[in-house]
Structure 1
């Protein structure tokens, strides 16, 4: 195909479509014209891709079609309706679709933590090699509880949110490499196991878990979701199945972005609990009850709302409307 001749023949239609997308208001006739040109230019894009895939021309036509599609369909993805759709469909569907990955991550980390704590309790000499007697005394009698009351609750909640969001972001961002995710998760549970075993050996186990569980249930679940998502991203190019590696990685990368954005809200909730509930004067049973309630709500969110969204066809990926244009073509 002579690309120059093809461009010369159809450039007026492309420019007209581009002009219509820039108009503030369209009449009924202009709207009909926009839809007709959208279909026609979609055909042109398909021909160019097949016969003479010039990158700059493909990019230009794709961008023009995207603007036309947005103009024809409206701005439904913007505003509160888009936010509501994200949290009621896209995010829970992504969590549900990847449930086996993050549930496996959660179960594995719980087992590793339990094994490490039991082993450390049976080997007190290891504790002495990690910390001096003075450091252990400071940890047991001051540091753990003081950690939750050192700053004003609002400042501490913000600090906790930033820290946990950073850990979760690293798990997802480094997921494509695989091993760094495992290392991050191991560091996380190793710290918990070491401090937990020290507190338990010094008869402070009940106090320790009373401080950890209110916020830790939801917080650690969010971290394990991020870890499972990162590992799924790694596996998407190792075993792409029916897709090419590029397609598989792109799809899981978009889904990982969905989960990363959604976890911001989940970690904000756990940060608020850690900042305001954990150090509060409420009895231990009440503080733990609040943490359990938040955790149960998250699981219901995934397995009730997420399952329903998945059955409606949502996967956590971007909708076809905002992906690269692949419109029906006409002869």
Structure 2
């Protein structure tokens, strides 16, 4: 085969392989946005082997150095990408936490905003209503729940001026992890019931929290509660909203798969939602740690508690807003 025929026959696949190599050097989100690439990742190993065969053939036939040098470069670049040592696990985990997770959350912005509205609005509405109609609390919570809540956050109780002993702190740390994570997983998994599942769970939790705060605030006993939740609320409440948004996406894909098969749409949302829930689980873990070892210390001045809370809210929101953004990966 003449050199011109050889080049004409394989030029397109060389260009596609070269384009794939170029895209692999860019940030992930930029590669995802450039859908003009002709070569899929799963086809690359076979294409790499063909380049190696074509290089050997070009050398055997004595083709010009321009052809052999080009194929040699493609082969070398492909080898470096396909057989490079994967980054350490701790680095991959760090990249996921700092960059991939915030990008995943932002990629489902519409669902996240809806989840926040479903969670926050009932909370705020109940809190305000109970300041004017305190008797509404009896239609929301059972009498024993109300009595237990009032005893737990009684500002005249001397226990609220001291922290727990170290053994109790570790015990409560485990309790908080189980409780918080179970709430997040329930919100996400309820998406398998359609969008009504996450909607119900988000509204229910919003009503429950708003009723608790509203009742104690109306009684004038809310100070211990405000100081208790101030530290861990940035992580815990935000994680509930995030898992709720992932659950809404799961339910939406189940109900409206579009042109995809329903099972394919569900698998796609489930896989993405599982990664979002993994990041949210870390947030629940941090919230449980703060709740067990910081929030319980009522002797710390309120100004310090609220100052720390404001700092954590700022850091969490900046992380979700800016995390993983780069000059080329996101607008």
Question: Same fold, TM exceeding 0.5?
Answer: yes
Deviations along 1:205-258, whole A, 9 cap, x unmatched?
Answer: 333222222212320110011001100111123334464434332222211011
Deviations along 1:11-47, whole A, 9 cap, x unmatched?
Answer: xxxxxxxxxxxxxxxxxxxxxxxx569857xxxxxxx
The corresponding residue for 1:161 is 177
Deviation at 1:288, TM superposition (A): 2.3
Higher mean C-alpha displacement, 135-144 vs 183-192? 135-144
The corresponding residue for 1:250 is 267
Please tell me whether residue 142 in structure 1 is matched to residue 142 in structure 2: no
Please tell me whether residue 288 in structure 1 is matched to residue 294 in structure 2: no
Deviation at 1:204, TM superposition (A): 1.5
Instruction: Give 1:297-312 correspondences, 5 Å limit.
Output: 297-308=315-326, 312=329
Verify the 8 A CA contact 1:117 1:197 in the aligned structure 2.
Answer: yes
TM-score with structure 2 setting the length: 0.65
Deviation at 1:112, TM superposition (A): 1.2
User: Unpaired segments of 5 or more residues in structure 2?
Assistant: 1-44, 51-78
Give the structure with higher Rg (CA). 2
User: Unpaired segments of 5 or more residues in structure 1?
Assistant: 1-34, 41-68, 314-331
User: Out of 114, 118, 121, which is 2:128 matched to?
Assistant: 118
Name the CA shift for 1:95/1:39 in 2 (closer, same or farther; >3 Å): same
Deviation at 1:78, TM superposition (A): 6.1
Deviations along 1:45-80, whole A, 9 cap, x unmatched?
Answer: xxxxxxxxxxxxxxxxxxxxxxxx9x9535626622
Once superposed, what is the RMSD of the aligned Cα atoms? 3.3
Name the CA shift for 1:96/1:307 in 2 (closer, same or farther; >3 Å): farther
State the alpha-carbon separation in 1 of the partners of residues 83 and 154 from structure 2: 55
State the alpha-carbon separation in 1 of the partners of residues 99 and 202 from structure 2: 28
Instruction: Give 1:5-20 correspondences, 5 Å limit.
Output: none
Higher mean C-alpha displacement, 218-227 vs 199-208? 199-208
Count of matched residue pairs: 251
Deviation at 1:270, TM superposition (A): 1.0
Name the CA shift for 1:294/1:242 in 2 (closer, same or farther; >3 Å): farther
The corresponding residue for 2:72 is none
> Which structure has more RCO (C-alpha within 8 Å, separation ≥ 6)?
1
TM-score with structure 1 setting the length: 0.65
State the alpha-carbon separation in 2 of the partners of residues 307 and 241 from structure 1: 29
Please tell me whether residue 228 in structure 1 is matched to residue 245 in structure 2: yes
